[in-house]
Structure 1
């Protein structure tokens, strides 16, 4: 018995299914009439401003709780208006010295946590750890959909 090819059917997953798999960010799968998926991704790849780079650096500078919260709110607002998506947080090299080599910064809880080389970094931040340790980036953004975006010292975003 020979194989005969039947009619083909194209199946496309809906936006909710893609979002659940982390293939589309929360902004792109939201409401009808929102930006196309490619548009949101293009916005995320725009260079980061000098002010934003400085603000992210200052979040690890030992600010008091109120100043840190205010600065984190400003950073969230900048990401929302300029790039259309706010990262969960950042991973960067730590300048405190031994035993710390890197740190995780969460914008939503405004938590800065420093890590020694042998300590496990929680998911999804651990995926950005080796990039941050390389020293080639100002910081590495970690987004809710699993997107990891390294940012160079001049604000250029490196495409994955």
Structure 2
């Protein structure tokens, strides 16, 4: 008879552990939601003039072959978000290209640190294509492309969030 009681007690202990784990689950989800809210708040902040001016240099063309200029632009982006590891969440930046025909948009791939100019109809890599139509509509200086949304940045630095 003592054996069945012991098994029953182990079962009860296991249930208590399962209940304890389930009780902690809402706290974990709440913590993740709080982190998401904090991240969202940080990414909605108005962008600095230095940041906007740095990204305007993407149209100059010479930086494509100049690693120091490219590093300067990447560092400006990282400095804009000092509390974040931006390369983990930002895929890149898309903007209208002013180099003229046949170019339509240009991109800055944050992870690969690559600046590329794309011709009309040429598909953008790495999830950046979703920002092309937003950039082409105009009204924004550039589009930051994130894993979960796009953030359109105006000349004044204001941020508009566009869900995927």
In structure 2, what is the Cα distance between the partners aligned to 1:146 and 1:36? 15
In structure 1, what is the Cα distance between the partners aligned to 2:76 and 2:49? 14
SS of match in other structure, 1:53: helix
User: Residue 67 in 1 paired to residue 65 in 2?
Assistant: no
TM-score scaled by length of structure 1 = 0.71
| Structure 2 partner of 1:50 | 49
User: Residue 97 in 1 paired to residue 100 in 2?
Assistant: yes
Cα-Cα RMSD: 2.6
Whether contact under 8 Å (1:76, 1:107) holds in the other structure is no
**Count of residues paired in the alignment:** 130
In structure 1, what is the Cα distance between the partners aligned to 2:96 and 2:102? 12
Distance 1:123 1:106, change over 3 A: closer
Q: CA deviation at 1:85?
A: 5.5
Q: CA deviation at 1:106?
A: 1.2
| Structure 2 partner of 1:146 | 148
Can you list the C-alpha shifts for 1:58-100, whole angstroms capped at 9, x where unaligned? 244222222211331232232234xx46222100000100000
Whether contact under 8 Å (1:94, 1:103) holds in the other structure is yes
Counterparts of 1:17-56 in structure 2 under 5 Å? 36-56=35-55
Whether contact under 8 Å (1:142, 1:148) holds in the other structure is yes
In structure 1, what is the Cα distance between the partners aligned to 2:85 and 2:156? 20
User: Residue 128 in 1 paired to residue 127 in 2?
Assistant: no
In structure 1, what is the Cα distance between the partners aligned to 2:85 and 2:43? 7
Whether contact under 8 Å (1:59, 1:72) holds in the other structure is no
TM-score scaled by length of structure 2 = 0.69
> Larger % of helix: which?
2
Structure 1 segments of 4 or more deviating over 3 A? none
Larger radius of gyration: 2
Whether contact under 8 Å (2:91, 2:127) holds in the other structure is no
Whether contact under 8 Å (2:149, 2:161) holds in the other structure is no
Give unmatched runs, 5+ long, in structure 1. 1-10, 19-27, 30-34
| Structure 2 partner of 1:116 | 119
